[in-house]
Chains A and B, each alone.
Chain A
């Protein structure tokens, strides 16, 4: 799983049928310190995350398909948690 921060929304009407009525969020990937890495990811949401929130994203197909309970979904990235706080115990 990876850390991200929601930075935008993708609006799309013509898409693969699996993505009908799914909210697509644009998420900045973060380092452990919470700084943007410059990379991003477009993911669907399973927890009701909103703008500016730090979230936990699964970027692996089989796990994502298990969450949506659809073994044929062409899906890899899904938001599975909202992060309140991260604590780094030791950092080299």
Chain B
């Protein structure tokens, strides 16, 4: 899984069978210091609770579909959870 930031939502008008009602969000992948890296992706949201500007983690590949309610659907990336905090070991404790 990798970190990402939700930068927007996407509303499809026609989707493949099984993907009806699944929220689609625009996600900017991040490195571990939360700097943007790579191209923006569209991810389905298994939490159904992620919103714009939130830090999330997502999974790609076969596991992306398995995280959704209908588990055999054509998706590339799925948001697995919303991040409350990232604690890096090299950070000073406040």
B67 at the interface (CB under 8 A from A): yes
Chain A contributes a number of interface residues (CB within 8 A of B) equal to 30
List, in ascending order, chain B residues with CB within 8 A of A72's CB.
66, 71
B82 at the interface (CB under 8 A from A): yes
Please give me the residue from chain A that is nearest to B85 by CB atom. A11
A13 at the interface (CB under 8 A from B): yes
- Chain B interface residue bracket vs A: 20 to 34
Produce 1/0 per residue, A2-40, CB < 8 A to B: 000011111111111011000010101000000000101
List, in ascending order, chain B residues with CB within 8 A of A61's CB.
61-63, 66
Contact (Cβ within 8 A) A10 B62: no
A residues within 8 Å of B by Cβ? Answer: 6-16, 18-19, 24, 26, 28, 38, 40-43, 51-52, 61, 72-77
9 further interface pairs, Cβ-Cβ under 8 Å (given A8-B32, A8-B86, A14-B49): A7-B89, A10-B85, A12-B81, A14-B47, A14-B81, A38-B31, A40-B32, A61-B63, A74-B78
